[in-house]
Copies of this chain bind each other. A is one copy, B any other.
Amino acid sequence: MSNVTGRKFATIEDVARHAGVSRAAVSKVIRGAYGVSDTMRERVNSSIAELNYRPRVAARAMRGSSFTLGIEIPEFGNPFFIRILKGATEAIAGTDYQLIIAPADAGIETDAVEGYRALEALADRQVDGIVAVSPLVQADWLARLAERTPVVMLGRHDDASNYDRVVGDDAVGAALVMDHLFSLGHERIAHVTRSEAVTFGNSTPHAIRLGVYERMMRAAGHGSHVEVVRTGPTERHSFEATRALLQTPNRPTAIFAAHDELALGALRAVGALGLTAAEVSVIGYDDIDLADHPAISLTTVDQAGVEMGRQAVRLLIEQIAGRSEPVEYVSTPTLKVRGSTAPVRRRSLLRRR
């Protein structure tokens, strides 16, 4: 292979000739493999430096590994996924691995098609392992993928026989939300969440949060106030949906948003209608960076996204190193109480004034 100016790039062959050894020897030095004398290692290394040699990853991938890990995320729009990327990047720093990111952005109506496409693109590139956030792809499809590539799934609560899982404890987190709201006296609580596709079944994070919401509402005797609002993935979508909700008679006194992006939209709607936390409390999920900004001050559930990303890569590298028994890492969420939630102001009290 030659570049535009006709200069050739050094190959393993060039290094071998320059150092007066075999290609196999150079290969061993590169890989740090066992069985090379110090003299040879030095000679080879100085030839590598002199020729400015860098092994072609594609050629190595043909026989060995690609030194590339794939990570699939649904979209860049949600800050929570960015935190996962951040953690993954941190965990990978200092290793020989590089991250290849495959976004599976399906737009408003999330379906699994883009997830499959992204995962296959990763597999086509023979990545050494895959971290994925694909709540909608079929478990058996994943199992097949995991047969040939180490896989770590994020946020899947299903059973997995051959891939690792990193999950937040969504049941606990949602319960924290509801208990907090109940303790403030709220009864009329709405849940703003994503489309049915995303809450289908009982193993996606949003399905679990929704389930806990409904069950705890009923258990507390507020079953008649259950109100589930479906919306798209962005702050903007949530804003529109929440504004409509808040303009209905008997509007809720509190909104449990399925994630912080949606909570921001709810906050925007509350503000746009001239309301405050005293009238409509908003609580989110994820604890994105901005949640503790004084201008936002969003009560939310911290599920430690950066740490989840870090753990996912750690588990993946463990698998690559040989572990075959699947492992699960559960992140225990904590509640962050801030200014966006307040004690309910009962209508009856208002009337009495």
Contact = CB atoms under 8 A, between A and B. Distances in A.
A124 to B, nearest CB: 5
A201 interface: no
Contacts of A124: 54-57
A98 B82 contact: no
Most chain B Cβ neighbours within 10 Å, of A98, A99, A294: A98
Given A85-B76, A99-B102, A54 B125 contact: no
State how many copies of this chain the complex holds. Answer: 2
A244 interface: no
Contacts of A89: 76, 103, 105
Interface string A42-60: 0000000000001111110
Most chain B Cβ neighbours within 10 Å, of A102, A103, A271: A103
B62 A58 contact: yes
Interface in A4-45: 4-5, 9
Given A58-B125, A99-B101, 20 more contacts: A4-B148, A5-B147, A54-B120, A54-B124, A55-B124, A56-B62, A57-B58, A57-B124, A62-B62, A68-B100, A68-B125, A76-B86, A93-B105, A98-B121, A100-B100, A100-B101, A101-B101, A267-B293, A295-B295, A295-B296
Listed from nearest, the 10 A-B pairs whose CB atoms lie closest are A58-B61, A3-B148, A100-B100, A271-B294, A101-B101, A295-B295, A4-B147, A57-B125, A58-B58, A98-B121
Interface of A: 3-5, 9, 54-59, 61-62, 66, 68, 76-77, 82, 85-86, 89, 93, 98-103, 105, 120-126, 147-148, 235, 264, 267-268, 271-272, 289-290, 293-296
